[in-house]
């Protein structure tokens, strides 16, 4: 597929994800971690405008000079911006305005991409595709939160079905032997800067579960009082449980004594065989401790990943998000992409049911704060 078609594909997929929404659903921001869908639509467009069209496209006219203020996410280099908590307070630009903005930028991009491109520009375009794919996943997670926290529990799409994953043999553990392993991206394709510098790590022998923990198994933890016994938790996790009165994964509701979960197709009885989802790192750790097991490190995960099926939910690891040996930031605004977040966050590995096709790979490093649950997160155990 040529670069123009790739561009169109990525851009259309974003709009396809928003297709089932009502105008109002594009606007709200129920918690700070969630962005309004219309903001994602604008921000991904701003990214192409700011980092490609404005510096490289001859005579490009910015669509609206005030949009830089509205759609900049966190790039300090590029100037001031709407503070994150205010994204849901903006009724303007309207959804229609933003679709017009997208059309304007798409037009310019398609023209621009039809020319010969310098290698440096090609790299940025590829980064733009991957950036938009990341926001596609965020769109799904944010939409789920917006609808799933509405007291009316509206479905996103009554016909939505989760992709099915391979059948599981529940207690299987895979044994990996002690030795030196190579970690980090290898090859010619795209990767993010945080995957770079393939390097050696020494791993002790370990075992890792072939399957993710499922809802039935997690329910047993709840029923055994797991959320009421401090011994399973980090001190900070235990404070989080008590301050926020946490007693189950996000989107679980106990209705008339029966557990339900909110899904993209609406509120449904808990699917016991599905892998547990929407749990924080604190919960993943507590569950593992309760089982007498632990979470794998991100290095163990990468070493073992060829031997199990992954991609159902992002999997919490025990590793803090830190730079690989020799990590360096690009200069300028693009250098703000990953490096400045390498503190007090925890790595997730794998992918999830809402990850864009082709966007996942074995060396991919996702990362979130330890209390966050609105992503499609799961648990794989190690020992």
From residue 165 to residue 204, the character string flagging contacts with its own copies as x (rule: CB under 8 A) and all else as - is ---------------x------------------xxxx-x
Contacts of 102 (CB under 8 A, 6+ apart): 11, 15, 41, 42, 45
Q: How many residues bind its own copies (CB under 8 A)?
A: 67
Of 18, 95, 241, 288, the one binding its own copies (CB under 8 A) is: 95
Indicate whether 73 belongs to the interface with its own copies (CB under 8 A): no
Indicate whether 334 belongs to the interface with its own copies (CB under 8 A): no
What is the DSSP pairing of strand 346-349 with strand 199-203?
unpaired
Is-contact 300 349, C-beta < 8 A?
no
Kindly tell me which of 232 and 278 has the beta carbon lying closer to its own copies: 232
In the structure encoding, which two tokens stand for residue 323, read together?
A: 């730079």
- Helix (H) or strand (E) holding 217, with range, is helix 215-223
Q: Is the peptide bond before 93 cis (omega within 30 degrees of 0)?
A: yes
Strand, helix or coil at 334?
Answer: helix
Of 39, 63, 281, 374, the one binding its own copies (CB under 8 A) is: 281
Distances (CA, A) of 260 to 114, 155, 254, 370: 51, 14, 6, 25
Indicate whether 88 belongs to the interface with its own copies (CB under 8 A): yes
Indicate whether 49 belongs to the interface with its own copies (CB under 8 A): no
Indicate whether 296 belongs to the interface with its own copies (CB under 8 A): no
As a whole number of angstroms, the distance between CA 97 and CA 26 comes to 12
Kindly tell me which of 57 and 295 has the beta carbon lying closer to its own copies: 295
Kindly tell me which of 93 and 249 has the beta carbon lying closer to its own copies: 93
| Closest residue by Cα to residue 71 from 55, 59, 87, 95 | 87
Indicate whether 60 belongs to the interface with its own copies (CB under 8 A): no
Is-contact 10 133, C-beta < 8 A?
yes
Indicate whether 90 belongs to the interface with its own copies (CB under 8 A): yes
Indicate whether 94 belongs to the interface with its own copies (CB under 8 A): yes
From residue 103 to residue 122, the character string flagging contacts with its own copies as x (rule: CB under 8 A) and all else as - is --------------------
Indicate whether 228 belongs to the interface with its own copies (CB under 8 A): no
Distances (CA, A) of 233 to 3, 227, 299: 48, 9, 23
Closest distance between its own copies and the C-beta of residue 202, in Å? 4
| Closest residue by Cα to residue 18 from 27, 29, 8, 31 | 27
Of 230, 247, 268, 358, the one binding its own copies (CB under 8 A) is: 230
Strand, helix or coil at 374?
Answer: coil
Of 4, 8, 20, 30, the one binding its own copies (CB under 8 A) is: 30
What is the contact surface with its own copies in residues (CB under 8 A)? 22-30, 38, 66, 69-70, 74, 76-77, 82, 86, 88-95, 146-147, 149-152, 154, 180, 199-202, 204, 206, 230-231, 233-238, 281-282, 285, 294, 318-320, 322-323, 325-326, 335, 340-344, 346, 370
């Amino acid at each position: 597929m040529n670069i123009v078609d790739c561009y169109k594909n990525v851009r259309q997929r974003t709009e396809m994800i928003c297709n089932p929404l009502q105008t109002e659903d594009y606007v709200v921001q129920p918690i700070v971690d969630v962005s309004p869908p219309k903001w994602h639509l604008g921000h991904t467009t701003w990214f192409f405008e700011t980092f490609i069209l404005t510096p490289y496209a001859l005579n490009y006219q910015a669509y609206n000079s005030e949009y830089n203020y509205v759609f900049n996410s966190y790039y300090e280099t590029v100037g001031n911006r709407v503070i994150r908590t205010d994204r849901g307070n903006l009724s303007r630009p309207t959804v229609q305005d933003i679709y017009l903005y997208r059309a304007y930028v798409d037009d310019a991009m398609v023209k621009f991409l039809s020319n010969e491109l310098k290698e440096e520009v090609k790299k940025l375009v590829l980064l733009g595709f991957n950036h938009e794919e990341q926001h596609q996943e965020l769109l799904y997670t944010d939409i789920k939160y917006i609808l799933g926290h509405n007291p009316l529990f509206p479905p996103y799409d009554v016909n939505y079905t989760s992709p099915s994953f391979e059948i599981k043999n529940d207690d299987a553990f895979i044994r990996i032997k002690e030795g030196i392993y190579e970690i980090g991206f290898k090859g010619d394709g795209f990767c993010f800067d945080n995957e770079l510098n393939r390097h050696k790590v020494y791993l002790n022998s370990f075992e890792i579960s072939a399957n993710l923990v499922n809802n039935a198994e997690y329910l047993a933890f709840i029923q055994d009082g797991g959320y009421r016994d401090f011994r399973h938790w980090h001190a900070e996790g235990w404070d989080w449980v008590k301050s926020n009165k946490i007693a189950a994964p996000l989107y679980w509701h106990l209705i008339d004594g029966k557990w339900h979960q909110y899904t993209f197709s609406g509120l449904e009885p808990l699917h016991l065989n599905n892998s547990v989802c929407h749990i924080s790192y604190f919960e993943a750790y507590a569950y593992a401790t309760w089982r007498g097991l632990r979470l794998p490190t991100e290095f163990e995960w990468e070493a073992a990943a060829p031997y199990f099926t992954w991609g159902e939910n992002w999997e919490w690891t025990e590793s803090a998000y830190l730079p690989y040996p020799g990590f360096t930031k690009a200069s300028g605004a693009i250098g703000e992409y990953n490096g400045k977040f390498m503190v007090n966050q925890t790595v997730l590995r794998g992918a999830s049911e809402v990850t864009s096709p082709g966007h996942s790979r074995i060396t991919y490093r996702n990362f979130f704060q330890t209390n966050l649950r609105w992503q499609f997160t799961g648990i794989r155990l190690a020992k």
